[in-house]
Chains A and B, each alone.
Chain A
Amino acid sequence: MRRKEHFDAVVVGAGPAGSTAALVMARAGLRVALLERGEYPGAKNVSGAVLYGTSFLERLLPGFRLSAPVERYITRRSIGFMSESALFSLDYKSSSADVPPNYGFTVLRPQFDRWLAQRAVEAGALLVPKTVVDGLIREKGAVKGVRSRREKGELYADVVVAADGVNSFLAREAGLRGEFSLQEMTLGIKEVIALDRQLLEERFQINGNEGVAYEFLGSVTGNVCGGGFLYTNRESLSIGIIFQLSSLLRERARPYELLDGLKNHPSILPLIRGGSVKEYSAHMIPEGGWKMFPKLYAPGLLVAGDAAGMVLAAGCYLQGINYAMVAGEAAARTVIAAAKDRDFSALSLARYETFLREQKLIQDFQRFQKAPEFFLNQRIQNVYPAMICRLAEQVFHAAGGPKEKIRDLAAAGMREAGVSWFQLLKDLIEGGRSIGW
């Protein structure tokens, strides 16, 4: 029986995973529908955002720099430990970082996602915006299409790629994942603050298209487990906070009040002064890593990007858009190979894992599988940053009088914070195991 609306593949969600998948499949000559619930791709998307996938993008779209809406190339990265009055920063700057392949670049998602989806359209994918998918069409245990919330909204396909974002109702409906735990989910909120370009470059000591990625731990989130960030765009700053949901609930904190606290921190206020807030946004982030990966495929179905929990939150690595694109490409290759064999069974779609391994995605998440649990911990995110600031204050605040050795100052700080040497040693070893060795 020939159905009217039959595609080789239906991709749900025109984010980095979905648009990459649609682009690669369309290039291979498949008939692809790319569904997006927003008015345009990117209308519902929020990230910090630094994109760390320049070599992948260069391979996918050679010369992408000429047309992609790149804000600034990250040439300076800082990690700041905060107390209510102080900031202790580790600062790295390299003049070679703006030479390809760069460390990464900042993007504004509504613009970047729109641009990437447009590349898929150019390759021949059919973009259908303003279309929410409410469920899967299944026959004899295999996914055969999707039900969109439109009149006669059924769309049939050999394969559905669920790139429907962090909340992925499709992965849940297919039984690929269970309920989320509040420990592994974080809420990110942010503001984009417009700032005069010259002023911005002077303040952050950058030139031309250079940019800064600044991340904060400590009092920025009060007692809530989480961290803050400040990224430079061409003519604006992205400033925000990420909260572990379980801890946000426990502390009964209002997210936007904590963000105002960060903006008013004595070390941050001078950086954003004179800017005007342009947009406020919120988004959930799956930070559980490998342990929260769902099953990645079922007969007729593949899951990619945030929908599959592909966000690496491992201290110095905070990446997701790149993995989403890698997964989108791997999903596309899987469908292309399956279409050649006309076999869309789970066995055939299991190639997806092989392709993900080829790109080292699965290995990355396995390697850092202990990191989310280690970093989503109050001692790491709140207690130690405050101790570091306190220690620095004691060393630098030289008002005269007797001086103590660092060990004694540290011991006093630890007593105040209620942390034992044993606990500190244990955390150092666990931290080391999670990202060090």
Chain B
Amino acid sequence: MVSIQEKLNLLIFRVDENTHISIDKSKCAVCRERPCLFFCPAGLFTLSGEEVLHSYEGCLECGTCYLACEQKAVSWQYPRGGYGVLYRQS
């Protein structure tokens, strides 16, 4: 079994200094299910104590998070042009 981080390490990312994903933590605080901890194919949503944390650097740009978050807590837009994941053979 390879970890998700090892899978992401195979990819090239042009990382912007600004995030393209933001979450409304007040909504996360009241969310019981927190499906984001599971559904993200890059595993970008993690738990620190009781707080949901997220990162954007390894985003695969599928859009699952903004669609599947029942609290509508995730704001997601495309990264700036030329930034983000750079697929070469998918």
Chain A: residues with CB nearer than 8 A to chain B? 37-39, 42-47, 108-111, 129-132, 134, 148-150, 166-167, 169, 180, 182, 185, 187, 189-192, 236, 238, 245, 248-249, 252-256, 260, 277-284
Contact B81 A132 (CB under 8 A): yes
The docked-state distance in angstroms from the alpha carbon of A282 to that of B60 is 6
Chain B: residues with CB nearer than 8 A to chain A? 1-2, 4, 7-8, 10-11, 14, 33, 35, 38-39, 41-43, 60-64, 67-68, 77-82, 84-90
**A265 vs chain B, min Cβ distance (A):** 14
If A108-B89, A277-B2 touch, does A130 touch B81 (CB 8 Å cutoff)?
A: yes
If A109-B87, A245-B68 touch, does A278 touch B10 (CB 8 Å cutoff)?
A: yes
Identify the interface centre among A132, A134, A253: most chain B CB within 10 Å of its CB: A132
**A151 vs chain B, min Cβ distance (A):** 12
Contacts of B86 in A (CB 8 A): 38-39, 43
Contact B35 A249 (CB under 8 A): yes
Contact B4 A256 (CB under 8 A): yes
Contacts of A254 in B (CB 8 A): 38-39, 43
If A43-B87, A44-B84, A260-B2 touch, does A245 touch B38 (CB 8 Å cutoff)?
A: no
**A193 vs chain B, min Cβ distance (A):** 10
Across the interface, B41 reaches (CB within 8 A) one of A44, A185, A189, namely A189
Contacts of A252 in B (CB 8 A): 35, 38
Contact B43 A256 (CB under 8 A): yes
The docked-state distance in angstroms from the alpha carbon of A277 to that of B9 is 11
Contact A45 B62 (CB under 8 A): no
Contact A46 B43 (CB under 8 A): no
Identify the interface centre among A111, A129, A169, A187: most chain B CB within 10 Å of its CB: A187
Contact A187 B64 (CB under 8 A): yes
If A43-B87, A45-B87, A109-B87 touch, does A280 touch B39 (CB 8 Å cutoff)?
A: no
- Pull 6 A–B residue pairs with CB atoms less than 8 Å apart, ordered by A: A43-B86, A43-B87, A108-B89, A187-B41, A282-B60, A282-B64
Contact B35 A132 (CB under 8 A): no
The docked-state distance in angstroms from the alpha carbon of A245 to that of B85 is 22
Contacts of A166 in B (CB 8 A): 63
Contacts of B1 in A (CB 8 A): 260
Contacts of A39 in B (CB 8 A): 14, 82, 86
**B60 vs chain A, min Cβ distance (A):** 4
- 10 additional A-B pairs beyond A110-B90, A256-B41, beta carbons within 8 Å, are A43-B85, A130-B82, A132-B78, A187-B62, A187-B64, A249-B38, A254-B43, A277-B7, A281-B90, A282-B41
If A43-B87, A277-B7, A277-B10 touch, does A150 touch B81 (CB 8 Å cutoff)?
A: yes
**B58 vs chain A, min Cβ distance (A):** 10
Contacts of B8 in A (CB 8 A): 280
**B71 vs chain A, min Cβ distance (A):** 13
The docked-state distance in angstroms from the alpha carbon of A167 to that of B77 is 10
**B34 vs chain A, min Cβ distance (A):** 9
The docked-state distance in angstroms from the alpha carbon of A437 to that of B8 is 44
Across the interface, A255 reaches (CB within 8 A) one of B33, B41, B79, B80, namely B41
Contact A192 B89 (CB under 8 A): yes
**A282 vs chain B, min Cβ distance (A):** 4
Contact B7 A38 (CB under 8 A): no
The 9 tightest CB contacts between A and B, nearest first, are: A130-B82, A282-B41, A281-B90, A130-B81, A280-B7, A282-B60, A46-B90, A282-B62, A131-B81
